[in-house]
Amino acid sequence: MNAFKLRYPIILIHGTAAGDSSLFWGRIPKTFKKNNISFFYGKTDGWGTVANNAQMLKRNLSDLAEKTGVTKFNLIAHSKGGIDARYFISTLKGHQMVASLSTLSTPHLGTPIADYLMEKHLSGDSVTKKLIQRISFLFGGQSPAPIELIRDLSVKKMRAFNQLNPNMDNVFYQSFASTMNKPQDDLLYALSFKYLTGLAGKNDGMVPLESAVWGANFKHIHASQGISHAGITDVIRKNIGDVDIPQIYLDIIRGLGALGL
């Protein structure tokens, strides 16, 4: 019996400032292909709002269902991708097409980083605001809206979001998250890691550990070297400490298979 045989295909959904390729997913797509795991990409925008990306996800899955004859999908989402997926499942009635949602480092309770940026750097006509908007339009997709998406992930906004987007009974939800041990684990997140540590304790440099907990199962991924918010997607294409990142995704799939999904 194939340990990775699933009833429904996998949909990989990226987060902010990312895309549907091995540039952002590292060795994971290759690992899936090697193990004959059927998967597709979510085809969402790296700088799109939650609402817009959820609509894109709906169109993509509807097209896939029509082309393949598949009735449901198992979603694996990183960071904001998990919020896009939840909006699709609950608000857009996507639960009819979704068997499971597994989130990695998703800010289900929001991230104080978003609140800090909105309050300190993205109000009015600031230089930071102009820079982020310019970057998003250069590297964004169909409808970049960086300020709105950052606001979407604030603690206040996510509190309201969770009220409006409850879990659906026919969808299996689970979550995973890593944490950094020290700023040197990933210099890209060194400052944000320090900020969140003082404010919320354990974090991956972008999302507090407690904010990433969602669903029936949760696993905190420990490593001899801390794993950052981006590190969990295998973006650096090598083991981090004693952890083989693609194996995390194979373990998720093995678990879904055991549930008959």
- Phi then psi for residue 41, to 5 deg, are -100, 155
- Cα-Cα-Cα-Cα dihedral sign, residues 243, 253, 93, 136: positive
Q: What is the pLDDT of residue 206?
A: 97
Q: Which two tokens stand for residue 153?
A: 């992930």
Bridge partners (DSSP) listed for residue 13: 77
Domains of the chain: 10-258 (3.40.50.1820)
Contact 98, 125 (CB under 8 A): no
- Report pTM: 0.93
250: left (phi > 0), else alpha (psi -120 to 50), else beta? alpha
E-strand stretches of 129-238: 172-178, 217-221
| Structure-block tokens of residue 94 | 């996507």
Stretches where the chain sits below pLDDT 50 are 1
Number of neighbouring beta carbons within 10 Å of residue 5: 13
One DSSP character per residue, 184-196 reads: GG-GGGHHHHHHH
Residue 148 CB coordination number (10 Å): 15
User: What pLDDT shows up at residue 1?
Assistant: 46
Record the tokens describing residue 41, joined without a space: 């990409």
Helix, strand, or coil (residue 111): coil
Other CB atoms within a 10 A radius of the CB of residue 6 amount to: 21
* Residues ≥6 apart with Cβ < 8 Å to 27: 234, 237, 245, 246
What is the structure's pLDDT at 145? 72
Q: Which two tokens stand for residue 48?
A: 């799109």
pLDDT digits (tens, 9 = 90+) for 173-212: 999 999 999 999 999 999 999 999 999 999 999 999 999 9
Strands, sheet with 98-104, edge to edge from the N-terminal-most edge strand: 39-41, 10-13, 73-78, 98-104, 172-178, 217-221
Question: In a 10 Å sphere around its CB, with 0-12 CB exposed, 13-18 middle and 19+ buried, how is residue 236 labelled?
Answer: middle
